[in-house]
Structure 1
Amino acid sequence: MTSVTAEPVPFLSALVARRTWQAYGYLWLSLLLAPLALAYVVAVPSLAAGVAVTVVGLWLPAAMVLGARGWAAAYRSAARSLLGVEAADPPAFARPRGFWSALGAALGDPAGWRALLFMLATFPLSILGFVVSTTWLATAAGSMTHWFWSRWLPLEQAADGTWHRGAQLGPGQYVDTPARQALLALAGLLLLLAWPWVNRLCTSLQAALTRTLLGPTAGALRVASLRASRAATVEDADARLRRIERDLHDGTQARLVAVAMQLGEAREQLAAGADPALAAELVEVAHESTKDALGELREIARGIHPPALDAGLAVALETLAARAPLPVTVEVGADVEAAAPLAPAVQSIAYYCAAELLTNVAKHAGASRARVEVTREAGAVRLRVHDDGHGGAAVAPVDGTGRRTGLAGLGERVAAVDGVLDVRSPAGGPTVVTVTLPTTTRP
């Protein structure tokens, strides 16, 4: 939940500022909606009490609880348009399977009940804000123009028997002289200049309620984030399994089939009493093919779990840097693994992030060197990859071909353990990508 940061308005020009009158319009709109919203709130428990004897009838108040989300959306839209206040939409209602589960989820929808609470609280605030702001504005306007319209007021007799025409400020004190008219007009002008700030104060209470009650809670945001990262993780795991299956089928399996055929041919040559040199040549070819197949299997196994990680993250990163196609310097803080060990999932994600980032540097950055830094502080481990390339890297969901980009995939993998991916890559470089991961994973 965030609020739009507006430029400060000078005191003298606040009266004619557009957002001042937009805020006053919000008070009018809120006053018009408040009675309807209160009636809606009262109807929910009333209907629930009336239809509680029938289980099917409980769907009516349940639907009204969910319908409060529509009221919340209307109030958020008004606050966004007229007050410049942004409140993010709460996660959509996820209806579980089963009659009782769905009914219970609808009746207990947190976003719906928070909206109902807002509608209840905004009723007195709408009246209070509108009355205070409008009374202040009317008093200021009346004071400034009293000199004009007071001539039509009826005559009043004071305690001393004199007659006066004008506003009475106290016993025997009437605004019916030029000096008093001028002082009242000046006071009215000051009240008018102060009205925008009074008006803003009246709307700030409802703006605070909008942020507090109509936006998503921290728990709801975390649940939505976990759902999204879980879906991305499942998709990523499925894609990785398909890639491994394809590599095994198209590469290693085909090579092993060729080895079997070559050994079979060599056996036939030996059985037929042919030239032993020809059979030896076939065996040699099969031997080389077997070594190539073993190399491919090692690469596939490294993609599943790098063996170097068994010796620690520092050793794995050094091994990764040694295989990189450009000079890579690795700096791992002494306290990264000296304290409590990192969770295996965190180590794997840090390694794969470094591998993916160094691959991007080699393919796209046009860099001559790179540097990998790993530090640990305050329950988090930070991996930074620097390069001296041309910059311009960005986390885009898809590339020009419609496929998901590598940085977007890294961001989803990092978010799965409540990590953060930060990319600083101005045009012309250099690029610094920071991956912040918790030292342990939460359930």
Structure 2
Amino acid sequence: MQTMTLDPRVRRSGRSRGWTRWLGAPLSSATWRSYCYLWLMLLLGPFALAYVLVTVAVTAGAAVTVVGLFVAGGLVVGGRWWGTTYRRLAGHLLDTHVAAPVPRRTRRGFWPRLGAALGDPVGWRALLFALAALPVTLAGFIVSTACLVLGFGGVTYWTWFWSLPPELAMDSSWHTPAGLALVALGGLVVLVLWPSAQSVFVALLKLLTRVLLGPTAASLRVAELERSRAGTVQDADARLRRIERDLHDGTQARLVAVGMQLGEAREQLVSGETDTLGELLETAHASTKDALAELRELARGIHPPALDSGLAVALETLAARAPLPVAADIDPEVEAGGRLAPAIESIVYFSIAELVTNAAKHAHASRVQVRVEVAADGGSGILHIRVRDDGVGGATVVAPDGSGLRSGLAGLAERVGSVDGTFELSSPVGGPTVVTMTLPAVRAGTEGTHRTGTGSRA
């Protein structure tokens, strides 16, 4: 077993760079931008504090009036402006870029709109930040300014001590070359320590900015579920339109042709002219079989009959009908605890079906491997799906084109996300392409305790 040792010269070089960075911190732009940030925060602090006090006072005093509550609600919502100002200030001066909270949704109705304004969590959190940041800013500004003034004054004391009145100057014993040098050295030490002392308060303000002015995990999840639900509704609507179009342009046209051919055959029977009767009946019979095949294909696209026998049977059937060899490995534990919820089974089936189609059509793969297993996660189970092909790779998730139909990998990612699942893609140029999905292993009959979407083929 070989071990790697670091060259002592490299270690010394790293330590020297660290010392140089530490000693040069008082002259760095980041340190002075942080000091400027404290200045601006201190200037904004009294105005923000006054706004917070007015908001609380109006909310408490106007609780008995309806008009006053709308004024209070407007002040709470106005707290969003303060949050935006503080976020931009931190982004420009501290390089701390915090995402904006989820936009406020307007409610319909008098009381819902009033309640949404008064209970706006983003506005209240921004007001709380203004209240909590003021003492931190004040303490940080005092400490930082004191270090800066003492340090700079100590370093330059030897140049201006003679101008001080005797009662303000240091003891005359310090006014010697050795004493002045010691005072200058102490000032230099304070200047070197100044950025570190300042960074403690700036780091606390950064933490408050991230915690109080950014979006919460719950709000992001709600926004993601709403977006996913909207996408699912659009996908279902587009799919129904496509089925209607296929029925109208394909199957319906064939059945109309069959009706016309049978009508013509009946006229020939009535008239006794049976020269082309056999040909007409043969054509009608072939058109009927084609129409039945199209109907079966449409029905399979809506809900494959193989799913009635369980997910394992459906995936084995899918592998047998695939245009390229598919090795499907289904863990028996997937259905050991009972059938999965229909929505989960549909998402798994149609996702794998599309990935297999993509591997054959776009990746030019020669083989696909599918692995489906379930893993325990506390009191529930997590379904793991892994689809790997040996194609050319280079697959990417392309955003929807606005047509309303969520197709391709973007549609799969949205469909999986609609049931609190995850979608990961690894597809380097040259292959292989590996798609890993996780979904909650919701069992049939327990869907009421979970929010699941509906799956359909992209």
TM-score (norm 2): 0.87
Q: Aligned pair 1:190/2:201, yes or no?
A: no
Letter in 1 for 2:269: L
CA RMSD of aligned residues (A): 2.3
Q: Distance in 2 between matches of 1:418 and 1:254?
A: 42
Deviation at 1:234, TM superposition (A): 0.4
Q: Distance in 2 between matches of 1:404 and 1:238?
A: 11
SS state at 1:380 partner: strand
- CA contact under 8 A between 2:101 and 2:214: conserved in structure 1? yes
Q: Distance in 2 between matches of 1:380 and 1:85?
A: 36
Q: Distance in 1 between matches of 2:67 and 2:120?
A: 18
- CA contact under 8 A between 1:423 and 1:432: conserved in structure 2? yes
Equivalent residue pairs, number: 423
State the Cα deviation string for residues 27-47 of structure 1 (Å, max 9, x = none): 111111111100111111222
Match of 2:50 in 1: 39
State the Cα deviation string for residues 282-328 of structure 1 (Å, max 9, x = none): 22222221121111111111111111112222222222222222222
Deviation at 1:403, TM superposition (A): 8.2
Q: Alpha carbons of 1:400 and 1:295: their partners in 2 closer, same or farther (altered >3 Å)? A: same
Q: Distance in 2 between matches of 1:213 and 1:250?
A: 56
Deviation at 1:174, TM superposition (A): 5.3
Q: Alpha carbons of 1:130 and 1:13: their partners in 2 closer, same or farther (altered >3 Å)? A: same
Q: Distance in 2 between matches of 1:95 and 1:214?
A: 20
State the Cα deviation string for residues 149-190 of structure 1 (Å, max 9, x = none): 22222335xxxxxxxx8435xxxx953333332223222222
1:439 aligned to which of 438, 441, 446: 441
- CA contact under 8 A between 1:399 and 1:405: conserved in structure 2? no
Q: Distance in 2 between matches of 1:400 and 1:414?
A: 19
SS state at 1:87 partner: coil
Q: Distance in 1 between matches of 2:338 and 2:199?
A: 52
Q: Distance in 1 between matches of 2:340 and 2:441?
A: 5
Q: Distance in 1 between matches of 2:386 and 2:177?
A: 75
Q: Alpha carbons of 1:339 and 1:194: their partners in 2 closer, same or farther (altered >3 Å)? A: farther
- CA contact under 8 A between 2:234 and 2:404: conserved in structure 1? no
Q: Distance in 1 between matches of 2:187 and 2:142?
A: 18
Deviation at 1:61, TM superposition (A): 1.5
Q: Distance in 2 between matches of 1:402 and 1:339?
A: 37
Deviation at 1:51, TM superposition (A): 4.1
Q: Distance in 2 between matches of 1:27 and 1:154?
A: 33
Deviation at 1:401, TM superposition (A): 10
- CA contact under 8 A between 1:69 and 1:112: conserved in structure 2? yes
Q: Aligned pair 1:396/2:398, yes or no?
A: yes
Q: Distance in 2 between matches of 1:402 and 1:192?
A: 61
Deviation at 1:402, TM superposition (A): 11
The residue correspondences of 1:220-259 to structure 2 (distance < 5 A) are: 220-259=219-258
Q: Distance in 2 between matches of 1:402 and 1:251?
A: 22
Match of 2:311 in 1: 313
Q: Distance in 1 between matches of 2:163 and 2:351?
A: 81
Q: Distance in 2 between matches of 1:55 and 1:402?
A: 43
Deviation at 1:71, TM superposition (A): 0.9
Letter in 1 for 2:78: G
Q: Distance in 2 between matches of 1:16 and 1:302?
A: 70
Deviation at 1:335, TM superposition (A): 2.1
Q: Aligned pair 1:92/2:95, yes or no?
A: no
Deviation at 1:16, TM superposition (A): 2.6
SS state at 2:22 partner: coil
2:144 aligned to which of 126, 133, 145: 133
Letter in 2 for 1:436: T
More displaced stretch, 8-17 vs 198-207: 8-17
Match of 1:359 in 2: 357
Deviation at 1:52, TM superposition (A): 4.2
SS state at 1:85 partner: coil
- CA contact under 8 A between 2:234 and 2:405: conserved in structure 1? no
Q: Aligned pair 1:58/2:69, yes or no?
A: yes
Q: Distance in 1 between matches of 2:404 and 2:391?
A: 25
1:281 aligned to which of 279, 282, 297: 279
State the Cα deviation string for residues 116-164 of structure 1 (Å, max 9, x = none): 11111111111111111111222221222222222222335xxxxxxxx
Match of 1:167 in 2: 170
Deviation at 1:336, TM superposition (A): 2.1
Letter in 2 for 1:18: S
Q: Alpha carbons of 1:16 and 1:374: their partners in 2 closer, same or farther (altered >3 Å)? A: farther
Q: Aligned pair 1:83/2:94, yes or no?
A: yes
**Seq. identity, %:** 57
Match of 1:212 in 2: 211
Q: Alpha carbons of 1:340 and 1:178: their partners in 2 closer, same or farther (altered >3 Å)? A: farther
List gaps (5 residues or longer) in structure 2: 1-17, 452-458
Letter in 2 for 1:60: V
Letter in 1 for 2:301: G
Deviation at 1:93, TM superposition (A): 0.9
- CA contact under 8 A between 1:129 and 1:202: conserved in structure 2? yes
Match of 1:121 in 2: 132
Letter in 2 for 1:306: P
Letter in 2 for 1:17: S
Letter in 2 for 1:290: T
More displaced stretch, 371-380 vs 289-298: 371-380
Match of 1:372 in 2: 370
Letter in 1 for 2:292: L
Match of 1:104 in 2: 115
Q: Aligned pair 1:292/2:290, yes or no?
A: yes
Deviation at 1:333, TM superposition (A): 2.2
2:423 aligned to which of 413, 421, 424: 421
SS state at 1:382 partner: strand
More displaced stretch, 260-269 vs 226-235: 260-269
- CA contact under 8 A between 1:397 and 1:405: conserved in structure 2? no
Letter in 1 for 2:433: T
State the Cα deviation string for residues 1-27 of structure 1 (Å, max 9, x = none): xxxxxxx99322322332222211111
Q: Alpha carbons of 1:401 and 1:111: their partners in 2 closer, same or farther (altered >3 Å)? A: closer
SS state at 1:94 partner: coil
Letter in 1 for 2:382: A
Letter in 2 for 1:33: L
- CA contact under 8 A between 1:166 and 1:176: conserved in structure 2? no
Match of 1:72 in 2: 83
Letter in 1 for 2:145: T
SS state at 2:107 partner: coil
Match of 1:3 in 2: none
Q: Distance in 2 between matches of 1:399 and 1:50?
A: 51
Q: Distance in 1 between matches of 2:405 and 2:339?
A: 36
Q: Distance in 1 between matches of 2:333 and 2:283?
A: 50
